[in-house]
Structure 1
Amino acid sequence: MATDMKENYYTHALWHVQEGKTEAFLQAWQQFGKALSQVPNSPPVRGTLIQSIDDPLVFYSFGPWESLEDIQAMRSDENVRKALSSILELCSEAEPGQFKTVMQLEFPGSRTP
Protein backbone atom coordinates (compact mmCIF):
# COMPACT_ATOMS: atom_id res chain seq x y z
CA MET A 1 0.00 0.00 0.00
CA ALA A 2 1.31 3.48 -0.85
CA THR A 3 1.69 5.81 2.13
CA ASP A 4 1.16 9.55 2.45
CA MET A 5 4.45 11.36 2.14
CA LYS A 6 6.02 14.72 1.87
CA GLU A 7 8.55 15.34 -0.85
CA ASN A 8 11.99 14.28 0.33
CA TYR A 9 15.35 14.48 -1.37
CA TYR A 10 18.23 12.04 -1.24
CA THR A 11 21.78 11.76 -2.32
CA HIS A 12 22.76 8.31 -3.55
CA ALA A 13 26.02 7.01 -4.97
CA LEU A 14 27.62 3.87 -6.29
CA TRP A 15 31.27 3.47 -5.27
CA HIS A 16 33.41 0.77 -6.87
CA VAL A 17 36.55 0.78 -4.75
CA GLN A 18 39.93 -0.18 -6.18
CA GLU A 19 41.40 -3.50 -5.02
CA GLY A 20 43.29 -3.07 -1.74
CA LYS A 21 41.78 0.39 -1.03
CA THR A 22 38.75 -0.60 1.09
CA GLU A 23 40.13 0.54 4.46
CA ALA A 24 41.31 3.85 2.99
CA PHE A 25 37.89 4.28 1.37
CA LEU A 26 36.10 3.74 4.69
CA GLN A 27 38.35 6.28 6.38
CA ALA A 28 37.81 8.77 3.53
CA TRP A 29 34.04 8.26 3.79
CA GLN A 30 34.22 9.09 7.51
CA GLN A 31 36.20 12.25 6.69
CA PHE A 32 33.54 13.12 4.13
CA GLY A 33 30.95 12.84 6.92
CA LYS A 34 32.98 15.20 9.10
CA ALA A 35 33.15 17.70 6.24
CA LEU A 36 29.36 17.47 5.83
CA SER A 37 28.88 18.24 9.51
CA GLN A 38 30.84 21.47 9.11
CA VAL A 39 28.89 22.98 6.21
CA PRO A 40 27.57 26.37 7.41
CA ASN A 41 23.83 26.46 8.13
CA SER A 42 23.40 22.80 7.21
CA PRO A 43 20.48 20.70 8.46
CA PRO A 44 21.11 17.52 10.45
CA VAL A 45 22.49 14.90 8.07
CA ARG A 46 22.44 11.11 8.25
CA GLY A 47 24.35 9.09 5.69
CA THR A 48 24.28 5.33 5.21
CA LEU A 49 27.01 3.30 3.53
CA ILE A 50 26.28 -0.29 2.51
CA GLN A 51 28.63 -2.88 1.06
CA SER A 52 27.76 -5.60 -1.44
CA ILE A 53 27.95 -9.11 -0.03
CA ASP A 54 28.57 -10.52 -3.52
CA ASP A 55 31.30 -8.02 -4.43
CA PRO A 56 32.95 -6.42 -1.37
CA LEU A 57 34.51 -3.71 -3.55
CA VAL A 58 31.04 -2.29 -4.34
CA PHE A 59 29.45 0.19 -1.95
CA TYR A 60 26.35 2.34 -2.11
CA SER A 61 25.70 5.41 0.00
CA PHE A 62 22.51 7.33 0.53
CA GLY A 63 21.11 9.97 2.80
CA PRO A 64 18.01 12.13 3.16
CA TRP A 65 18.00 15.92 2.74
CA GLU A 66 15.35 18.52 3.49
CA SER A 67 15.73 20.37 0.19
CA LEU A 68 17.60 20.53 -3.10
CA GLU A 69 19.12 23.80 -1.86
CA ASP A 70 20.71 21.92 1.05
CA ILE A 71 22.24 19.41 -1.36
CA GLN A 72 23.54 22.19 -3.59
CA ALA A 73 25.03 24.04 -0.61
CA MET A 74 26.75 20.85 0.52
CA ARG A 75 28.15 20.16 -2.94
CA SER A 76 29.48 23.68 -3.34
CA ASP A 77 31.31 23.66 0.01
CA GLU A 78 35.08 23.57 -0.55
CA ASN A 79 35.79 21.16 2.33
CA VAL A 80 33.13 18.75 1.10
CA ARG A 81 34.55 18.92 -2.42
CA LYS A 82 38.04 18.08 -1.12
CA ALA A 83 36.70 15.19 0.95
CA LEU A 84 34.77 13.89 -2.06
CA SER A 85 37.93 14.08 -4.20
CA SER A 86 39.71 11.88 -1.65
CA ILE A 87 36.98 9.27 -2.02
CA LEU A 88 37.00 9.44 -5.82
CA GLU A 89 40.77 8.80 -5.92
CA LEU A 90 40.15 5.42 -4.27
CA CYS A 91 37.46 4.31 -6.73
CA SER A 92 37.60 2.84 -10.21
CA GLU A 93 33.98 3.95 -10.69
CA ALA A 94 31.74 6.40 -8.85
CA GLU A 95 28.23 7.59 -9.67
CA PRO A 96 26.89 10.15 -7.20
CA GLY A 97 23.47 11.64 -7.81
CA GLN A 98 20.53 13.45 -6.29
CA PHE A 99 17.02 12.07 -6.20
CA LYS A 100 13.52 12.82 -4.94
CA THR A 101 10.95 10.50 -3.43
CA VAL A 102 8.11 9.61 -5.77
CA MET A 103 6.49 6.75 -3.86
CA GLN A 104 6.87 4.77 -0.67
CA LEU A 105 5.32 1.37 -0.09
CA GLU A 106 4.49 -0.10 3.27
CA PHE A 107 3.27 -3.63 3.98
CA PRO A 108 2.20 -5.12 7.32
CA GLY A 109 4.06 -8.40 6.68
CA SER A 110 2.81 -11.88 7.39
CA ARG A 111 5.28 -13.04 10.07
CA THR A 112 3.62 -14.31 13.24
CA PRO A 113 5.17 -13.35 16.58
Structure 2
Amino acid sequence: MLQESKFWSSGNWHVRTGQAEEFVERWQEFLTWTKENNDGFLGARLIRNLGSPDSFVSFAAWQDLASMRAWQNSPEFTKRLGACRALCEDMQSGGYELAAAV
Protein backbone atom coordinates (compact mmCIF):
# COMPACT_ATOMS: atom_id res chain seq x y z
CA MET A 1 0.00 0.00 0.00
CA LEU A 2 1.18 3.50 -0.75
CA GLN A 3 2.22 5.78 2.06
CA GLU A 4 -0.51 7.95 3.44
CA SER A 5 -0.70 11.09 1.37
CA LYS A 6 -2.85 14.16 1.21
CA PHE A 7 -2.17 14.92 -2.48
CA TRP A 8 -2.81 12.65 -5.44
CA SER A 9 -2.66 12.72 -9.21
CA SER A 10 -4.90 10.34 -11.09
CA GLY A 11 -5.81 9.31 -14.61
CA ASN A 12 -8.61 7.35 -16.25
CA TRP A 13 -7.29 5.69 -19.40
CA HIS A 14 -9.22 3.95 -22.17
CA VAL A 15 -6.60 2.30 -24.35
CA ARG A 16 -7.14 1.37 -28.01
CA THR A 17 -7.81 -2.33 -28.56
CA GLY A 18 -4.57 -4.27 -28.90
CA GLN A 19 -2.45 -1.55 -27.27
CA ALA A 20 -2.84 -2.46 -23.59
CA GLU A 21 0.50 -4.20 -23.08
CA GLU A 22 2.44 -1.40 -24.77
CA PHE A 23 0.48 1.12 -22.70
CA VAL A 24 1.45 -0.63 -19.45
CA GLU A 25 5.11 -0.57 -20.51
CA ARG A 26 4.98 3.16 -21.36
CA TRP A 27 3.19 3.95 -18.11
CA GLN A 28 5.86 2.07 -16.15
CA GLU A 29 8.62 3.98 -17.98
CA PHE A 30 6.84 7.27 -17.25
CA LEU A 31 6.44 6.57 -13.54
CA THR A 32 9.95 5.11 -13.21
CA TRP A 33 11.25 8.41 -14.59
CA THR A 34 8.93 10.20 -12.14
CA LYS A 35 10.33 8.22 -9.20
CA GLU A 36 13.95 8.86 -10.20
CA ASN A 37 13.60 12.57 -10.97
CA ASN A 38 10.94 14.12 -8.76
CA ASP A 39 11.30 14.88 -5.08
CA GLY A 40 8.10 14.45 -3.17
CA PHE A 41 6.88 11.47 -5.22
CA LEU A 42 5.71 8.69 -2.88
CA GLY A 43 4.59 5.98 -5.30
CA ALA A 44 2.06 5.06 -7.96
CA ARG A 45 -0.29 2.29 -9.01
CA LEU A 46 -1.96 1.36 -12.30
CA ILE A 47 -5.06 -0.79 -11.96
CA ARG A 48 -6.93 -2.56 -14.78
CA ASN A 49 -10.69 -2.99 -15.00
CA LEU A 50 -11.43 -6.73 -14.85
CA GLY A 51 -14.61 -6.28 -16.90
CA SER A 52 -13.02 -4.02 -19.52
CA PRO A 53 -9.33 -4.90 -19.97
CA ASP A 54 -8.58 -1.82 -22.07
CA SER A 55 -9.61 0.49 -19.19
CA PHE A 56 -7.16 1.54 -16.50
CA VAL A 57 -7.03 3.90 -13.53
CA SER A 58 -3.72 5.29 -12.29
CA PHE A 59 -2.97 7.14 -9.10
CA ALA A 60 0.19 8.62 -7.65
CA ALA A 61 0.78 9.87 -4.12
CA TRP A 62 2.69 13.08 -3.46
CA GLN A 63 4.30 14.46 -0.33
CA ASP A 64 3.01 17.96 -1.04
CA LEU A 65 1.17 20.01 -3.62
CA ALA A 66 4.30 21.90 -4.72
CA SER A 67 6.07 18.64 -5.69
CA MET A 68 3.08 17.44 -7.69
CA ARG A 69 2.75 20.77 -9.51
CA ALA A 70 6.47 20.90 -10.32
CA TRP A 71 6.19 17.42 -11.89
CA GLN A 72 3.11 18.39 -13.91
CA ASN A 73 4.76 21.58 -15.17
CA SER A 74 8.00 20.01 -16.38
CA PRO A 75 8.59 19.63 -20.15
CA GLU A 76 9.58 15.99 -19.66
CA PHE A 77 6.20 15.31 -18.00
CA THR A 78 4.39 16.51 -21.13
CA LYS A 79 6.53 14.31 -23.38
CA ARG A 80 6.17 11.17 -21.26
CA LEU A 81 2.46 11.62 -20.58
CA GLY A 82 1.96 12.17 -24.32
CA ALA A 83 3.61 8.82 -25.09
CA CYS A 84 0.99 7.10 -22.92
CA ARG A 85 -1.91 9.18 -24.23
CA ALA A 86 -0.96 8.36 -27.83
CA LEU A 87 -2.17 4.79 -27.23
CA CYS A 88 -5.54 5.88 -25.85
CA GLU A 89 -8.98 6.57 -27.25
CA ASP A 90 -9.70 8.73 -24.22
CA MET A 91 -7.83 9.92 -21.13
CA GLN A 92 -8.95 12.15 -18.26
CA SER A 93 -6.62 13.28 -15.49
CA GLY A 94 -6.41 15.60 -12.54
CA GLY A 95 -4.82 16.53 -9.26
CA TYR A 96 -6.62 15.72 -6.04
CA GLU A 97 -6.56 16.44 -2.33
CA LEU A 98 -7.60 13.87 0.24
CA ALA A 99 -11.12 14.58 1.49
CA ALA A 100 -11.61 11.54 3.81
CA ALA A 101 -9.98 8.24 4.71
CA VAL A 102 -11.24 5.08 6.42
The C-alpha deviation readout for 1:11-32, integer Å capped at 9, x for no partner, is: 1110000011011101110110
- Deviating above 2 A after TM superposition, structure 1's stretches of 4 or more consecutive aligned residues are 37-40
Higher-Rg structure is 1
Unaligned runs of 5+ in 2: none
**Counterpart amino acid of residue 29 in structure 1:** W
**Counterpart amino acid of residue 100 in structure 1:** E
TM-score (norm. length: structure 1): 0.80
What is the aligned partner in structure 2 of residue 69 from structure 1? Answer: 66
The alignment yields a C-alpha RMSD, in angstroms, of 1.7
What is the aligned partner in structure 2 of residue 28 from structure 1? Answer: 26
The C-alpha deviation readout for 1:31-62, integer Å capped at 9, x for no partner, is: 1012212435x124310000000000000001
Q: Contact 1:7–1:102 (CA<8 Å) still a contact in 2?
A: no
Inter-partner Cα distance in structure 2 for 1:44 and 1:100: 15
Q: Percent identity?
A: 23
Inter-partner Cα distance in structure 2 for 1:51 and 1:36: 21
Inter-partner Cα distance in structure 2 for 1:51 and 1:72: 26
